[in-house]
Amino acid sequence: MSKISKVAVTVALGDYYGNNSTGYTALPFVYKNVTDLQSFLNDKTWETPVTVLDIAASKANILAKLQEVIANLGSGGWLVLYYTGHGARFDAGTGLANLKTYCVTFTPDLRYNYFPGVLSFLTEDDYAVIVKAFGDSIPNGHLITILDCCNAYGLIDTFAQQEDFHTVIAATSADSSAYYNTNSAFFSAFSQVWGSTFDQLQDAINQKMSAIGAPNTCIVKLAKNFQQATF
């Protein structure tokens, strides 16, 4: 099997939340977000497999897909993970230092009156394993994590291993909500400037978000080796 050079894994949860009495609101914008992103990346010759969507978007399935892609990336390959859905923080009652940020991924056990435990979801600890696996396998590659959810930066702000290869684009800070209409507010802004170099993205996105009245701000943490690169 020939190695691939650029691939985007898109993960979206929208109707799942409303259809399964999870206690979370349905997110109708996620489907347009992933379609728009895939169209943009396809024009840039990225491979964009079918979105990991709603009930398929379990923690186990997402991790397995990312590991599969990493195993098939060539030397110097690029991987985008785009997650759009609900994000949350789990407080075990032990103080701010022990908050865990997680993506509210699919589990059949989540209900408005029952929380199955943070380990049922994709947490910051789970994603740290993916970052390490990418760095170990493709040290000259570029991992781009795009989190379009509440509390987004909390999933990756504790990483020591940002280093040379990992760019993070987070729709919100660790303790902020995200806002949406047809697309999420972040995505509406991002899609207007995503042709910019990575070192220009944060200011460009936030200018667009401010222009549409979004109260949250985007945070971009740059890979040292790719600051002036583009998608």
Angle at which helices 185-193 and 198-211 pack, to 10 degrees? 130
Identify the three-state secondary structure at position 218. coil
Whether 108 shows a pLDDT value over 70: the answer reads: yes
Task: Look at domain 4-226 and name its CATH class.
Answer: alpha beta
| Predicted local confidence at residue 213, as pLDDT | 86
Backbone angles phi, psi at 102, to 5 degrees: -150, 155
d(CA 88, CA 78): 27
| Predicted local confidence at residue 160, as pLDDT | 47
Q: 17: which 2 tokens?
A: 């939340």
Q: 38-95 pLDDT, tens per residue?
A: 999 999 999 999 999 999 999 999 999 999 999 999 999 999 999 999 998 887 555 5
pLDDT level of residue 150 (50, 70, 90 thresholds): confident
Whether 177 shows a pLDDT value over 90: the answer reads: no
Backbone angles phi, psi at 83, to 5 degrees: -115, 130
Q: Where are the domains of the chain?
A: 4-226
d(CA 25, CA 11): 17
List, in sequence order, the alpha helices (H) in 73-197: 124-137, 185-193
d(CA 130, CA 115): 25
Identify the three-state secondary structure at position 208. helix
Q: 138-149 pLDDT, tens per residue?
A: 999 999 999 999
| Predicted local confidence at residue 156, as pLDDT | 65
Q: Across the chain, what does the average pLDDT equal?
A: 88
d(CA 19, CA 26): 8
| Predicted local confidence at residue 71, as pLDDT | 95
137 within 8 A of 187, measured Cβ to Cβ: no
